[in-house]
Amino acid sequence: MRTRLLLAAGAVAAWLLPYGLDSYAIHVVDVILIFAILAIGLGLAMGIAGQVNLAQVAVFGVGAYVTAILTTRAGLGFWVAAVLAVLATVVIGLVIGVPALRVQSHYLGIVTLGLALAFTSWVTNAQASGGAEGISGIPVPELPGVDLSSEYLYYYLELIVFAILLAFGLFVVRTSLGRRMRAMRDDALAAGSLGAEVPVLRMAAFLLASVYGGLGGVLYAGLIRYVAPESFNIANMFLLLGMVIIGGRQSLVGCVVGAVGLALVREALVDHPQIAQIAYGSVVVLVVVFAPTGLAGLPVRVRSAVARRRGRQGAAARLKPFQPYDPEPSRRDGETILQVDRVTKQFRGLKALDDVSLTVAAGEIRGVVGPNGSGKTTLFNVISGLYKPTRGRVRFRDADRTGDAPYRLARAGLSRTFQNLRLFGDLTVEENILVARDRSRTWESWRYLLRPISVLRRDRELHRHARDVLDRYGLAEFAALAPKSLPYGIQRRVEIARAVAAGPALLLLDEPAAGLNGEEVRQLAEIVRSIRDSGITVIIIEHNMGLVMTLCERVTVLAGGRIIADGTPAEVARTPAVIEAYLGDSMTAGDLPPISEVTR
Amino acid sequence: MPRLRATAIIPLLLLAASAGCSAPGANDDDAKSGSGPIKIALVDAQSGQLSSLGAWELKGARLAVDEWNAAGGVNGRQIQLDVFDDQGDPTTGTTLARKIDSEGHIAMIGTAESAVTIAMAPILKQAEIPNITSGQSPGLVAAGSEFLFLNGPTSTTYDETLAKYIVDKQGLKSIAMITNNGSYGKGEHDAFLKALSSRNVVPVADQVVTTDQKDFSAVLTGIRQKNPQVIFVGAEEVESGLIVKQARDLGITVPFAGAAPQGTPVFLDTAGAKNAEKTIVSSPYLSNDVSDASKKFAAAYKAKYNEDAELHGAKAYDGTQILLTALKSSNVATGKALADAIRGTKYQGLLGDFAYDQTGVGIFATSIGTIQNGKLVAVTG
């Protein structure tokens, strides 16, 4: 209710704002709104999807230039030109996004920055764009009954576009598409393993950013009615970047706050050019140092600081017992679900897997054990598609899945956890589950435009499912918390719940007992058994021999990348090679200390 | 609930729309009072890449204003020169155009960046604020504002004069071109090529380099093979200097030609005085020693800022002098009357004799000079 009141007050204030402004101030506000739209787009790509996109200003330029060229040279009407301009920016956005399929983080930043520079250089030299003099005389957009040459009325046009774009951005961020993007930002590997189509999502991020950039460009062309290369130079790109970082890139509202704030600071310093650069630079540095989450992150930081000072209030969230699944009566045990056929994986000189063959039957709990460095996690990575085997095939559910992308395998019914926990750190526990639970295809995101209600309905359903999962795993009280803030044992449980929420046929657990205490290990065994009873086949890598011996029906022993034994726990324990290679001492030691291996 | 928040905006906006119907901002009264100091705005890049240009402009304009103020101002009113930083950005320029309008400045000096000036022109025209710019792009003329004046010749004049000297007078027809792909280089490229083609001369080489290139041996080797009689350079001071220096290292001995940047001390220092020898320069302000007026200006400039005067300061000085002269002759008129007064002002300045036509250009010739013994010397006759 309070937010709605605030919102209503904000809307009324925004509507009445021009009545208190002179012609200079309204122009400033008009420009700020355009930058705010650009900042939202950049925030979607950088903050939400984690794609460092330094070509946003070029996309902005494309929108403005295409509008300018089509209206002045081709004689099209403003609105027709605007639609074509946005379409052009969509194409450009996809082109800019292509490098993201291959490179990430700062490398992507450098590539996109290069594209932005290329754009400025091109418009400076091309005939069509009017060279350094740019294009003047862009016609005023016409709207029946509204004179848009008045910057006051133009403000309302911008305000409406801005409000729609902000609302749409928030809608995306808080539902399926945005959640997946945020998951991808936090951990692209884990997101892929849970069925998020990482390449499609990256392109979608660039697409969204470029639509915002394009609309910003169209509005710019209509407002300034003149385009020149300097308007879209790198300095403006960094200004835009500053807005997003100062505002808080993970929050769209923060991006808007940053855009407004920085633009006002810039405006206030126009009369003091001597100190402007220093002051403006200081603001950016201060924010980066003292408020890394930006202005949008400040309320949360202040609240948590206050809470810390007062001491913890209220009851801390408690872990509830796991509620076992109802056994699935119609299980089709015994059929082969996974077949690893003579797989070899070579890393330069090192043979991590050497001619490994393995068959897992549906309904089984299979243990994979072996000394550190024996190739267990490599085997998981090959099965789940993170690695392509050098030789050999992997068949899953009667289909050859060798070298399939992780997200394809995930969609085919494979789910996994990671040895060193890969939870999405900036998502809540519930959102972690939601990402896994969400089985929709990313290309179906056109629904966001055409059938938003169906998106909402599906999201509500997802939330209900996620609640069920959290209840079952006793995690309901942690739903709104960040995984990072939770004890290790609970994080382990969240990761298992997340993997099961994806609804797999085969579940790969990589050292799920590492770092757990005795009671937690006992609960883990109970959970894994129940998961199997619900009809999910489980393969488990574990160093805790007690757990493996009691839990698994069959055990495969790896040493030096080869399978040295395969059979029931009792058979395996008697195999001389196993005793020699691995079990000799550790059978008596019982619980080997978990030594983290490199997952990749 | 976030979803409610998003959808709640639209009906609220509609509600607000029905509440307030009259359009805001209808009253636009100009607060240009007839007493107190005369407010003149100087808009130029004071930060960013173009700030050195902006700094020179400011010094030239400030010198003119201070001279007038020391002599009692205009009609007894002091002149107040307010400085605004456009950061070389057209968008910021449009904002500043609104700002100087709302703050009651009656005229504007600047900017040095043609694109910024073109962006501001429609707003200044609407607000009826005369603007004397240091830009020299033909696009300024094309902007078609009767409130826009140039304080120097357009860039086509530089290259037209240069082509006239090289082709018509010296009879050199084998010409190579090397220009950069920045806005200045591109403008030079187009203007000089146009001047050549109107004389039916096709350059033997037309090489384009980038603005931040440092090694030109590849393009210069290509040019050397063509064996031109003269090489036209369209680039900023430092890059031009590097090009000339590297050309001499490669054994190219023919003279270079170019516009104002090639007449500057920065160019001479970068190229080396010996290498720059015989460079042909087309500039409206060859040096501080060409006339008595320029000597006086240079001395005052040196006394005030402790550095040597150069072209941009001289241009801004001329432009400001013309504005102040027009203010005096029109009895501190504003708006259209002031623009007409500027157009009617005949002024003998550092760059030559100004007489504005309808396009806002007041000077239509540059001088040709050559570098001899490390000094730019005017070519007479």
**What confidence tens digit (pLDDT) does each residue in A179-215 have?**
999 999 999 999 999 988 999 999 999 999 999 999 9
Mean pLDDT of B128-139: 91
Residue B119 has its nearest CB partner, among A12, A16, A224, at A224
Using an 8 Å CB-CB cutoff, list chain B residues near A131: 183, 186-187, 190
Query: Which among A396, A425, A391, A435 has a CA at the least distance from the CA of A412?
Result: A396
User: Quick one: pLDDT at residue A296?
Assistant: 81
- Do B144 and B215 sit in the same domain of this protein? no
Last residue of a domain, one of B251, B283, B315: B283
Q: Is B8 on the interface with A (CB under 8 A)?
A: yes
Predicted confidence band of residue A245 (pLDDT cuts 50, 70, 90): confident
Residue where the block lists tokens 């994806």: A502
Asked if B139 lies within 8 A of A152 by C-beta distance, the reply is no
Name which of B28, B51, B80, B186 to mutate to probe chain A: the one with the most chain A Cβ atoms within 10 A of its Cβ: B186
Weakest mean pLDDT among A53-57, A333-337, B135-139, B345-349 = A333-337
- Tell me: pLDDT of B228 over 70: yes
Give yes or no for A26 touching B (CB within 8 A).
Answer: yes
CB pair distance less than 8 Å for A134 and B90: yes
pLDDT at residue A539 tops 70: yes
**Contact residues, B window 101-140, toward A, CB-based 8 Å cutoff:** 101-103, 113-116, 118-119, 121-122, 137-139
For chain A, residues classed under CATH 1.10.3470 are: 23-302
Structure tokens at A462: 């997802």
Q: For position A582, what pLDDT does the model report?
A: 63
pLDDT digits (tens, 9 = 90+) for A516-534: 888 889 999 999 999 999 8
Burial of A505 (0-12, 13-18, 19+ CB in 10 A): middle
The pLDDT of residue A593 is above 60:
no
| B29 located within any domain | no
The pLDDT of residue B381: 55
The per-residue pLDDT for B2 is 42
Where do you find CATH 3.40.50.300 in chain A? 334-413+504-600
User: What are the percentages of helix, strand and coil residues in chain B, rounded to 5?
Assistant: 45, 15, 35
The per-residue pLDDT for A136 is: 87
CB contact under 8 A, B8 and A7: yes
To the nearest whole Å, the CA of A273 is away from the closest chain B CA by 6
Specify the pLDDT at position B20. Answer: 43
pLDDT in tens, A62-98: 999 999 999 998 889 999 999 999 999 999 999 998 8
pLDDT for A11 beyond 80:
yes
What are B102-128's pLDDT values in tens digits?
889 999 998 888 889 999 999 999 999
Residue A23 Cα, gap to closest chain B Cα (Å): 7
pLDDT class for B29, splitting at 50, 70, 90? very low
For A7, A102, B234, B262, the CA distances from B374, given in Å and listed in that order, are 70, 54, 20, 12
pLDDT at B129 over 90: yes
* Nearest alpha-carbon partner for A210 in A85, A335, A117: A85
CB-nearest to A273 from B28, B46, B137 is B46
Residues B161 and B274 reside in one and the same domain: yes
Compute the distance between CA of residue B268 and CA of residue B122 in angstroms, rounded to an integer.
Answer: 39
A23-302 domain in CATH 1.10.3470? yes
Partner-chain contact B139 A229, CB within 8 Å? no
Q: Which fold has domain A334-413+504-600?
A: Rossmann fold (3.40.50)
Torsion angles phi and psi, residue A413, rounded to 5 = 115, 25
| Mean pLDDT within A374-391 | 91
Structural domain count, chain B: 2
Answer whether B318 touches A (CB < 8 Å): no
From B6, B119, B138, residue closest to A171, measured CB to CB: B6
Q: How many residue contacts between A and B have a Cβ separation below 8 Å?
A: 179
Of B283, B300, B329, the domain-final residue: B283
What number is the average pLDDT over the span A20-28?
Answer: 88
Cis amide leading into A599 (omega within 30): no
DSSP code of residue A146: B
The helix/strand count (H/E) of chain B reads as 13, 14
Chain B residues with CB under 8 Å of A236 CB are 89, 91
Rounded to two decimals, what is the model's pTM? 0.85
- Tell me the pLDDT tens digit for each residue of B260-317: 888 888 898 899 989 999 999 999 888 888 888 899 999 999 999 998 888 899 999 9
Same domain, B204 and B267: yes
Q: Which two tokens stand for residue A417?
A: 């956890």
Residue in A12, A226, A276 closest to B90 by CB = A226
Share of chain B above pLDDT 90, in %: 59
Q: Is the pLDDT of residue B365 over 90?
A: no
Nearest-CA distance from A132 to chain B in Å? Answer: 5
Cα torsion B342, B345, B351, B357: sign: positive
Q: Among B142, B143, B186, whose Cβ lies nearest the Cβ of A124?
A: B186
Beta bridge partners of A544: A591
Quickly state the pLDDT bin for B26 (edges 50, 70, 90).
very low
Distance of CA A523 to the CA centre of its chain: 31
Q: How far is B25 from chain A (nearest CA, A)?
A: 6
Measured from the Cβ of residue A542, the count of other Cβ atoms closer than 10 Å reads 26
Is A347 buried (19+), middle (13-18) or exposed (0-12) by CB count in 10 A? exposed
Q: What's the Cα-to-Cα distance from A588 to each of A219, A291, A544, B181, rounded to whole Å?
A: 74, 52, 12, 76
User: Domain for residue B344, yes or no?
Assistant: yes
**How far is the alpha carbon of B220 from chain A, nearest alpha carbon, in Å?**
21
| Reported confidence tier of residue A150, pLDDT bands at 50, 70, 90 | confident
Residue B329 pLDDT level (bands cut at 50, 70, 90): very high
- A22 versus A590: the higher-pLDDT residue is A22
Among chain B residues, the shortest Cα distance to A6 is held by: B5
> Do residue A136 and residue B90 have CB atoms under 8 angstroms apart?
no
Residue A329 burial by CB count (10 A; 0-12/13-18/19+): exposed, middle or buried? Answer: exposed
What residues of chain B lie within 8 A of the CB of A18, using their CB?
24-25
For residue B270, tell me if it sits in a domain.
yes
Q: Give yes or no for residue A597 having a pLDDT over 80.
A: no
Residue B52, chain A, CB below 8 Å: the answer is: no
Contact B259, B188 (CB under 8 A): yes
Domain boundary among B234, B251, B283: B283
pLDDT at A36 (0 to 100): 95
User: Nearest-CA distance from A270 to chain B in Å?
Assistant: 6
d(CA A175, CA A452): 10
* B111 and B228 in a common domain: no
* Separation in Å, CA A361 to CA A308, A326, A538, B169: 51, 21, 10, 95
Q: Is the peptide bond before B111 cis (omega within 30 degrees of 0)?
A: yes
The alpha carbon of residue B267 is apart from the nearest alpha carbon of chain A, in Å, by: 23
The answer to the question of residue B371 being in a domain is no
In a domain, B25, yes or no: no
pLDDT digits (tens, 9 = 90+) for A414-448: 999 998 889 998 899 999 999 998 888 877 788 88
Give dist(CA A475, CA A471) in Å, integer: 6
Q: Which two tokens stand for residue A258?
A: 């940053």
Mutate to test the interface with B, among A119, A133, A148 (most CBs of B within 10 A): A133
Whether B362 has a pLDDT exceeding 70, the answer reads yes
- Whole-number Å distance between alpha carbons of A506 and A383: 11
Range in A81-90, A281-290, B223-232 the model is least confident about = A281-290
Distance from CA of B258 to the nearest CA of A (A): 19
For residues B329 and B271, membership in a common domain is answered with: no
Q: In chain A, what residues touch B103 (CB-CB under 8 Å)?
A: 24
Per-residue pLDDT of A497-520, as tens digits, reads: 999 999 999 999 999 998 888 888
Q: Which residue has the higher pLDDT, B170 or A247?
A: B170
B356 found inside a domain: yes
B372: in domain: no
Over residues B279-288, the pLDDT tens digits come to 999 998 888 8
Q: Which CATH number fits the domain that encloses residue B162?
A: 3.40.50.2300
Of A339-343, A533-537, B31-35, B318-322, least confident by mean pLDDT is B31-35
Both tokens of residue B150?
Answer: 């140039």
Q: Is the pLDDT of residue B28 over 50?
A: no
Q: What average pLDDT does the segment A221-246 reach?
A: 89
Report the Cα A336 to chain-centroid distance in Å. Answer: 34
Beta-carbon separation of B46 and A274 below 8 A: yes
- B314 domain residue, yes or no: yes
Q: Within 10 Å of residue B260's Cβ, how many Cβ atoms?
A: 23
The pair of structure tokens assigned to A266 is 């810039």
Same domain membership, residue B224 and residue B178: yes
* A157-161, A301-305, A312-316, A433-437: the lowest-pLDDT one: A312-316
CB contact under 8 A, B16 and A16: yes
**pLDDT recorded at residue B34:** 63
pLDDT of residue A313: 52
| Residue of A130, A170, A224 with shortest CB distance to B91 | A224
B226 CB burial (10 A radius; 0-12, 13-18, 19+): middle
Q: Give the residue from chain A lying closest to B88, CA to CA.
A: A230
The letter for the amino acid at A509 is L
Q: What confidence tier does A167 reach under pLDDT thresholds 50, 70, 90?
A: very high
Rounded mean pLDDT, A348-362: 89
**In percent, how much of chain A has pLDDT > 90?**
40
User: In angstroms, what separates the C-alpha of B378 from chain A's closest C-alpha?
Assistant: 31
Residues B160, B145 share a domain? no
CA A159 to chain centre: 29
How far off is chain A from B215, nearest CA to CA, in Å?
19
Q: Do B103 and A24 touch (CB under 8 A)?
A: yes
Q: Output the six-digit token pair for A321.
A: 């017992």
Is residue A461 pLDDT above 80, yes or no? yes
Mark whether B48 and B141 lie in a shared domain: yes
E strand residue ranges, A268-371: 336-347, 350-361, 365-369
Q: Given CB atoms, is A335 within the 8 Å cutoff of chain B?
A: no
**Integer distance in angstroms from the first to the last C-alpha of chain A?**
48
Confidence of residue B25 (pLDDT cuts 50, 70, 90): low
A104 vs A593, more confident: A104
pLDDT at position B33 over 80: no
Q: Residue B237's pLDDT is what?
A: 86
Distance of CA A75 to the CA centre of its chain: 42
Q: Give the type of residue at B315.
A: K
What's the mean pLDDT when you consider all of chain B?
87
Residue B12 and residue A132: Cβ atoms within 8 Å?
A: no
- Cβ-Cβ contacts under 8 Å, B6 against chain A: 167-168, 170-171
pLDDT mean over A462-486: 90
Alpha-carbon dihedral sign for residues B137, B139, B141, B146 = negative
- Among all residues of chain B, which has the CA nearest to that of A227? B119
pLDDT at residue A466, rounded to an integer: 92
DSSP B54-92: HHHHHHHHHHHHHHHHHTT-BTTB-EEEEEEE-TT-HHH
Confidence (pLDDT) at A132:
79
Residue of chain A whose Cα is closest to the Cα of B8: A4
B205 near A CB under 8 A: no
Residue A91 identity (one-letter amino acid): V
Average pLDDT, chain A: 87
Partner-chain contact B114 A277, CB within 8 Å: no
From CA A450, how far away is CA B352, in angstroms rounded? 66
Region B159-176 average pLDDT: 93
Which residues on A lie below 8 Å from B92 (Cβ)? 266, 270
Whether B31 and chain A come into contact, CB under 8 Å, resolves to no
In Å, how far is B291's CA from the nearest CA of chain A? Answer: 34
Q: Is the ipTM of this complex over 0.90?
A: no
Residue with structure tokens 């930083």? B85
Q: Quick one: CA dihedral B323, B329, B330, B333, positive or negative?
A: positive
Same domain flag for B76 and B165: no
Instruction: For chain A, positions 188-207, list CB contacts with chain B under 8 A.
Output: none
**Residue A129 pLDDT:** 85
Rounded to whole angstroms, what are the CA distances from A391 to A354, A560, A598, B148?
A: 9, 17, 22, 74
* φ, ψ for residue B271, nearest 5 deg: -75, -30
Q: What is the dihedral of CA A587, A593, A596, A597, to 10 degrees?
A: -20
A291/B contact by beta carbon, under 8 A = no
Q: Are residues B309 and B350 in the same domain?
A: yes
Range of the domain at B209: 156-283
The C-alpha atoms of residue B6 and residue B17 are separated, in whole angstroms, by 18
